[in-house]
A and B are shown apart, each in its own frame.
Chain A
Amino acid sequence: MAEKITPKQHNVYEQIHAGDDFQELRKRYRAFAIPWTVAFMVWYLLYVLASSFATDLMSTRLVGNINVALVFGLLQFVSTFGIAWLYSRHANKELDPIAGRLQAQYDEEVGR
């Protein structure tokens, strides 16, 4: 059997799930998480494929001994930091207020 919860808890979960607030929260979460996941995966795979199959391009020198491969690799760091920062901003502004409200609603109705 799955983890047990009380009928009361079950009802509150269902009630929250059916509400507009929750539907909006889920929409906002998925609208950020899914496209950005696809984006960084594609960007990373592009880098892996370029390192394997476009070695001439990757070996092109830009400044001194700095070549395209190094810059492309460093850009992966930049994009990782950038996406992490964007997500944190999105979550703080767009997700946390709704999530906090629904959590308070749950605590109040289930009573703890």
Chain B
Amino acid sequence: MSSEIITSVLFLAVVALTIGITLWASRQTVGTTDYYSGGRSFSGLQNGLAISGDYMSAASFLGISGLIALNGYDGFLYSIGFLVAWLVALLLVAELLRNSGRYTMADQLAYRMRQRPVRTAAATSTVVVSIFYLLAQMVGAGTLVALLLGVDSGVLKNLTIVVVGALMIFYVTVGGMKGTTWVQIVKAVLLMSGTVLITVLVMAQFGFNLSELLGAARDNSGEPGFLDPGLVYGTDLLAKVDFISLGLALILGTAGLPHILIRFYTVPTSRDARTSVLWAITLIGAFYLMTLALGFGAAALLDTSTLDASGNLASPRLAEAVGGGEGTIGGAVLLALISAVAFATILAVVAGLTLTSASSVAHDLYANVIKKGEVTEKQEVRMARVAAFGIGAVAILLSIFAQNLNIAFLVALAFAVAASANLPSLIYNLFWRRFNTRGATWGIYGGLLASVVLVFLSPVVSGAETALFPGSDWSIFPLSNPGIISIPFGFLCGYLGTVTSRDPEAEARYDELEVRSLTGAGAEVAVRH
């Protein structure tokens, strides 16, 4: 049996399983709390798994191991940033947000600010961050399937994007948060199991000796400095500053990613939110440690010059190699297995992102800005489903036109926008009494504009061989990662907006927000069916 057939069977199994889960979840989704927050009835462990499933995207599973396989130690720097970032979420955001918000990121600001301006701003940045992230996943899915089936056809890529898009619309419109969460839990279990299996098989080849694995990776790569930092990011001062900028966006972006933030609302109490982050740190930490085995294993065992330029196929090809190599049954089975895991990974992440944007459009823009809160739960949920359909359709269209975009760039941009636009307002709102409506809107729009404009003016978009428009050059900003400028700029805008205006109500209600966020008094409770 060929690998393509096994792969197809496993892909269909993943699809069937997730459709089953979604149909089951739809029967338990009645009101808005069910639709947006899964009834707040998930346990800390379940939500920890779902957070891991939402967070460990194809970019980390395929992307980071590919980066390590191609660039050695420098790829590992991503793993560390993506993990340490969780301490920001644990210490400063998760519990306070769970206690003070309801369904979306904007709720926590709207508690003491003027609703319409802050909800509009927060919904805008939620949709922008989610769309960038969504494009990365969908373009990745198209490329992955084409590479796995060994057919480099534009039609197949487009077909994959449409199928992934249709599935995600189905999960989100039908299953709501409950369905999406269970898809993410299943994906997390599959991803962890697959990664542990490959790690053990790789390490077994080197007598479970890390030093030997590393030595073999260096020798096979033919690069003497393969295990040292600086292969990619150490060439000149500009590259080093770019790396520091990336490092900042990685650790400050996670706690501002809307699809991660709304996961904290799916548990009954802030204590469960804490437990879920602790589980997420454990699982994500274990996973990123294993990227060492996957990445260096691929460098040691594969001829990396035959991989695609971004290294996205390193993990699937490594699985094939440790299963017995090309043409063997073991190799074919493991290749198919890891490919199916990657496919499940993409499905779970796109569902989370679509749900997040749809929730924000329905709850923030429709229910509170346009209808000023005069809507029934039924109308709001119907709007969320319509929005999920619309956002899914837009994402499919954009992905078809954006096929040549670099995936890592889209993800890095999403992190930079999240860190520059969302984090400043979240932190100011919780820790600064004087913070007000103008500060929040200036902070969000300022950080959002700064990061998008700087990327547009960077060598990622024009002026370099690898750029989006390699033929033209308007790159007046030399860094690929805008964070080092745009994050401080977001904080500065939030500060300036605040000190140039007064909002007595926002200040007066800070006491309430503080009590509510720290004690959970008056916080939203779980739904009982």
Which residues of A are at the interface with B, using a C-beta cutoff of 8 A? 1-3, 5, 9-10, 12-14, 16-17, 22, 25-26, 29, 32-33, 36-37, 40-41, 44-45, 47-49, 51-53, 55, 58-59, 63-67, 69-70, 73-74, 76-77, 80-81, 83-84, 87-88, 91, 96, 98-99, 102-103, 105-107, 110
Contact = CB atoms under 8 A, between A and B. Distances in A.
Nearest to A15: B515
B519 A51 contact: no
B285 A77 contact: yes
Contacts of A64: 211-212, 214-215
Contact of A26 (B73, B506, B509, B518): B518
A2 B234 contact: no
Interface in B49-99: 73, 76-77, 80-81, 83-84, 86-88, 90-92, 95
B285 A80 contact: yes
B243 interface: yes
Contact of A107 (B90, B113, B505, B521): B521
Contacts of B251: 41, 44
Given A10-B512, A51-B243, A67-B227, A106 B87 contact: no
Contacts of A52: 229-230, 233-234, 240, 243-244
Given A44-B251, A99-B519, A13 B228 contact: no
B522 interface: yes
B88 A37 contact: yes
Interface string B255-271: 00000000000000011
B229 A51 contact: yes
Interface of B: 73, 76-77, 80-81, 83-84, 86-88, 90-92, 95, 110-115, 210-212, 214-215, 218, 225, 227-230, 233-234, 240, 243-244, 247, 251, 270-271, 274, 277-278, 281-282, 285, 288-289, 505-506, 509, 511-512, 514-516, 518-522
Contacts of B515: 13, 16-17, 22, 102, 106
B110 A2 contact: yes
**Nearest 8 A/B pairs, CB to CB:** A64-B211, A106-B521, A59-B228, A51-B229, A52-B240, A65-B214, A13-B512, A48-B247
Nearest to B112: A2
Contacts of A69: 73, 227-229
B91 A33 contact: yes
Most chain A beta carbons < 10 A, residue from B212, B230, B509: B230
B522 A76 contact: no
Given A55-B229, A69-B229, A96-B271, A33 B519 contact: no
Contacts of A83: 87, 91
A75 to B, nearest CB: 10
B88 A73 contact: no
Given A51-B77, A52-B233, A80 B281 contact: yes
A27 B4 CA distance: 60
